[in-house]
Structures are given as C-alpha cells and as structure tokens.
Amino acid sequence: MPELPEVETMRRGILSAVGCQIERVEKLPTAVKPLLIVPSISSMSRRIVGREIVAVERIGKRVIARLESEDRLIFEPRMTGLVLVADPPSKEHLRFRVDLSGGVLDTIWYWDRRGLGSVKLFSPTRFEAEVASKFGPDALAVTSELLRDRLRHSRRPVKVALLDQKAIAGIGNLYASEILNVAGVHPTTRCDKLTIAQWRHVHQATLDVLHAAIEHEGSTLSDGTYRNALNDVGGYQNQHRVYDRTGELCRTCEHGTVQRIVQAQRSTFFCPKCQSRGRGKR
C-alpha cells in the first residue's frame, strides 16, 4: 500500500502541474526518519529549477513528473507516502516540496509517515536503464494473452506471482486478493496449473477491480494513512469483497466465509466457497 489505484489517483491529482514551471525544490526538515532524495537537493535544484513539467505519468506504483529536458522526477510512495496538493495529514511528516509557477497549481508536497519512500531525479538514459526496464507491462495495459505468457510457466502460487513487478507492474497485496476472488481462482493455485479460461478470468478481474478502485480513488485502510491529492480518503475500502474481512461473509458469492492465509510473508484473503481449489470460475 499504496498500489496502482492509489498511485494513479495521486497522478491524476497533480495533473494540473503540466505546463507549470518549477520555481524551487526543498527537502523539508523533520525530526523523524529522513527521506531518501537522489541526487542531493542542491544538485537536483540546479537541474530542474526553471524547467517546465510537460507530463505527469505513472509506472507501476510510482508517480513521474516528466520535464522538458526529459529528466524524470519520480515519487515512490512505498508503504505510507502521499503526493499532495493540499494540506497534509500532519506537518511533521512532510518531507519534500516542489514550488510551481505559471499555472493553477502552486505546490506539490510529498508526505511520508514512515519515511520509506523516495524522491529521485533520473536522466533519460538512467530512467530507461534503471527504472523503465525493471518493470513488466502495466496491469491496466496488459492483454489476457500477455498476462498468461508472462506467468504461465511459473511454479509460484498465482497470488505470489501477481505481486512480481518485473512480470506485471502495479498489483500489490490488497488488489491481488480482490482480483483472484472476483476471478474465482484459489490464491495457492500454481501459475502453470491455470487453464486458459482461468487466465482470462484473472485478466478481466484485474481490469474490473483496478478500474473500480480508481473510480473510488483508492482504498483508505483502518490505519487511515492513504489520502488522495486533496487529503481526502478513498472509497474503495467499502467495496472490498475479501481483503481484511476474515470471518465475514464473502461479498462475491454470499455463501462462503472469508479466510486468511500467509503467502510469501504476506496476508492473503480468499473465499473457500467460490475460490475452491480446482474449481475455477465457470
């Protein structure tokens, strides 16, 4: 957390930065864990102050401001980071700011409660070599055939494989559980055991779940950390079918009781009724 829907919501929240010129960048003082900023703030300032932002993009779980120089300023939220244009949840966890001119947006803030994220500036060649090449196709852009081709030979459980950003970019722990529930696929099923029909169900569920989550501006969980760019909560947590609902009725089939298991040191939630092993979705 945040995953593709939350980061895409952040990206859309700062789209009005396109056409603005960067006036100043600042690493904000904080008494908590310092944020990783690369290169140093002085070097970053020399390279980007006075430059225009020509696009706001996303790759996987990262927000990218592309500059007229083709340099990319990349915000990686990791566990608790937020890209904001409004007042933050707390002042003490503000880590970085970008002041803008020439448009409707004055400032982009980066806030991070735990300080696990980063802000990095990449040249075009370094971006291709160290960022773009490290990710698989975006989960919203992949076809059913490509999804299957990238994962079908893996002996990993499908839930674990969906988290592999080198295979498919953007899906995290929360949405993997939701996707497999909608697809009717048991999370421990090995990728190489899934049928063509099951891969189609997983693909369609990926699109359905992620688009719905984006429409609701992401999921704000019980810790309340995630906010959109205006510091408002998301709404998709109210639509979760299985995630963090152990012991409750599955909202997909309305017959099974949600169970929790651990896979690759992460919690997985599923319904044993509509995701029974070997059953698949008809």
Q: How far apart are CA 27 and CA 7, in angstroms?
A: 21
Q: Which of 78, 282, 255, 250 is nearest to 177 (CA)?
A: 250
- Alpha-carbon Rg of the chain, whole angstroms? 20
266, 273, 279, 281: the catalytic one is 266
Is 266 annotated in the active site?
yes
Q: For residue 50, give the 3-state DSSP assignment.
A: coil
Is 61 annotated in the active site?
yes
Is 260 annotated in the active site?
no
11, 27, 58, 61: the catalytic one is 61
Cite the active site residues: 2-3, 61, 266
